[in-house]
Amino acid sequence: MTKSEKGPKGKITLKVAKNCIKITSDGKKRLDLSKMGITTFPKCILRLNDVDELDLSRNLIRKIPDSISKFQNLRWLDLHSNYIDKLPESIGQMTSLLYLNVSNNQLTSNGLPVELKQLKNIRTVNLGLNHLDSVPTTLGALKELHEVGLHDNLLKNIPMSISKLPKLKKLNIKRNPFPKPDELETFIDSIRRPENLYVVEEKDLCAACLRKCQNARDKLDRIRNMAMTTPRKTIFPNLISPNSMAKDSEDWKILSTSS
């Protein structure tokens, strides 16, 4: 694309947008409008609502309109590194979404609509580098969530509904004002403690039950040890990666591993 085709910086026309459509390695259509100095959500792209992926990251956008819900086929939405302080309620209608990255914005807890709970298929949500002082319990309704980013916020606790997500594998909660280290073990126990506890002696358990209990104990010990030490930076190649500096800042903390 030549300089004349791009037009003034931040001005997106339908022609420009069409030239920014790429085909991903798995054959999906991605509209990549990242790093283009965009200040206002370009309404012309609503005419390209058949794309599978939309990248508006690293721009100057402050508001996402309700009309974004017209992207009904969208499975991947990257809005990181803008100035967004609120997500529209209509985002709950985008039920095909698998990946949502809104990290490094100006989001507060009030800016997260309860309609997020309607994203029943979503697997990855990154809310890091914002101004969240609480996590909406509605995220606990997203049973397909595998990965959640909550790093670099103002959080002091994590709702039990998040800790009980059945498929959660990676949770990044680094650099939040959580309890002090000597209180952290109690904090972790409080979100992992079962409602009912039955105590039996090892000799009364069959081999399979004893092995299951030992595996569960080992898993809890790993969680406790990881929380009490500074985790090393890990790269997960199977994570759908944002083409951004957010990729470097997402040190996911492993909460559970396949047994």
Say if residues 102 and 81 touch (Cβ distance below 8 Å).
no
CA nearest neighbour of 130 among 159, 100, 98: 100
- Counting DSSP H helices and E strands in the chain, the numbers are 6, 9
Give pLDDT, residue 163.
80
**Residue 70 falls within a domain, yes or no?**
yes
Which residues are within 8 A (CB) of 217 and not within 5 positions of it... i.e. 6 or more apart? none
**Residue 255 falls within a domain, yes or no?**
no
Domain count, the chain: 1
Give pLDDT, residue 224.
56
Distance CA 149, CA 71 (A): 24
Angle at 87 between CA 86 and CA 89, to 5 degrees: 125
**pLDDT tens-digit profile of 125-183?**
999 999 999 998 889 999 999 999 999 999 998 888 888 899 999 999 999 998 766 55
What are φ and ψ of residue 31, in 5° steps?
-95, 110
The boundaries of the domain holding residue 37 are 23-180
Identify the CATH number of the domain in which residue 51 sits: 3.80.10.10
**pLDDT tens-digit profile of 177-228?**
987 665 555 555 544 443 433 344 455 556 666 676 677 667 666 655 655 5
246 vs 73 pLDDT, higher one = 73
Distance CA 70, CA 49 (A): 6
**pLDDT tens-digit profile of 46-71?**
999 999 999 999 999 999 999 999 99
**Residue 174 falls within a domain, yes or no?**
yes
**Residue 249 falls within a domain, yes or no?**
no
- DSSP helix/strand/coil, 62: coil
Distance CA 50, CA 62 (A): 24
Give pLDDT, residue 127.
97
Q: Tokens 């309607």 identify what position?
A: 118
Distance CA 40, CA 21 (A): 19
**Residue 170 falls within a domain, yes or no?**
yes
**Residue 172 falls within a domain, yes or no?**
yes
**Residue 2 falls within a domain, yes or no?**
no
Q: How remote is the C-alpha of 29 from its chain's centroid?
A: 21
**Residue 7 falls within a domain, yes or no?**
no
- DSSP helix/strand/coil, 144: coil
